Amino acid sequence: MLHHSRPSNLLVYGKTGTGKTAVTRYVVNKLQRTFIQQNLRPYFAYCNARLCGTEYRTIAEIAASLGLTVPFTGLAVSEVLSRVLSYINHANANVLFVLDEIDYLVKNYSDDLLYHLTTSVDKIQSGTLSLIGISNDLQFKEDLGARVISRLSEEELVFPPYSAEELRTILEQRAELAFIPGSCTQAAINLCAALSGSEHGDARRAVDLLRVAGEAAERDNAPQVLEKHVRAALQHIDQDRITEALRTLPFHAKILLLAIINCTSTEKSMTGTVYQEYARLCNTCSIDALTTRRTSSLLSELDTLGLISTSIVNYGRYGRTKKISTQVQPQMVTEAFTGDTLITQLLHH
Ligand SMILES: Nc1ncnc2c1ncn2[C@@H]1O[C@H](COP(=O)(O)OP(=O)(O)OP(=O)(O)O)[C@@H](O)[C@H]1O
Ligand SMILES: [Mg+2]
């Protein structure tokens, strides 16, 4: 860009919290400063497709970053696009457009806008337009048509999960900003980094863990954040995650989970028994039970959420059956379900 030529389009992807947004914005800001130092006018735009919401808002965002005023609604997407292209042509501008959470656009609309943006190169005589697309959906490339993918991913950059060591440096920097000097121990930071590095490598969750640990220390009136506060924070975060998962379960999945809990206490937690218990509970609150086929897909949903675990038990020539057990405290379940009136009635039963 500094040599007035067109940089390749770039597709950035990787799992959530691996620094895609932070790093891209950091690099683009640096580039922008260099432009200004050299008395060049920078044409950079950043837009988060999910926050923009529509194709129209997305293209309007590019227009706005060039200083073009477009109405909030009322124009066709193609009209705004052609205004953008003609501006680039006239101003002989080198434009770099970062489109974050680009998968949102493709899933909710189509890849048409991306197609037009990436093929615009051929329509601009002077000036250039390059795109950086960012996505945390590793499957997303499959949703893109071949015509778009080959143009958008002229270059690709994959962000791997952070290692414990990398997380440690990120956390040290944050701790310096966030805590009174000396109030956060190196041991606490190291533990946060080690736990997060081995589980997910997500910097956002690592920073969250350190924050919650700080809050735990504060509640304790402790002068320093220690390893025990990190452990307490981890448990707290895990519990919140489970409670949230329980609270938002579909109605029948809730009943099914209650049935599993009832069966586990009697040591007879085979698929058949669980289904009978589920049907009995449905009957108690006068609702129709789902078929066994439907409940078995609910079972795998509960399994994926980590609320239950299933194992296959072999009985030799008597066949095989699935043994089901809960992974959560019954008390947590009943607490999480109390907001649901029908379920509460069932619990009273
Ligand atoms: N290299 C880094 N140095 C400092 N902070 C970082 C770094 N990488 C990530 N972070 C911080 O971690 C958090 C998550 O990073 P970021 O938002 O860039 O993730 P992402 O890959 O864009 O995730 P998502 O796919 O969910 O959008 C942010 O608060 C960010 O500031
Ligand atoms: Mg991001």
Q: Are the C-beta atoms of 38 and 31 separated by less than 8 Å?
A: no
- The reply to whether ligand 1 has any atom less than 6 angstroms from the CB of 27 is no
- How far does the centroid of ligand 2 lie from the alpha carbon of residue 265, in Å? 44
- Distance separating alpha carbons of residues 47 and 59, to the nearest angstrom: 9
| Proximal ligand: closest to the CA of 24 | 1
What is the model's pLDDT at position 225?
A: 97
Q: What is the pTM of this model?
A: 0.79
Q: Are the C-beta atoms of 247 and 339 separated by less than 8 Å?
A: yes
- How far does the centroid of ligand 2 lie from the alpha carbon of residue 115, in Å? 22
Ligand 1 closest atom vs CA 135: 25
171 Cβ neighbours under 8 A, 6+ residues apart? 189, 192, 193, 206, 207, 210
Task: Enumerate residue ranges in the chain where pLDDT < 50.
Answer: none
* Helix, strand, or coil (residue 324): strand
What is the model's pLDDT at position 31?
A: 93
What is the model's pLDDT at position 265?
A: 64
| Proximal ligand: closest to the CA of 17 | 1
Which residue's alpha carbon is nearest to atom 29 within ligand 1? 204
- The reply to whether ligand 1 has any atom less than 6 angstroms from the CB of 22 is yes
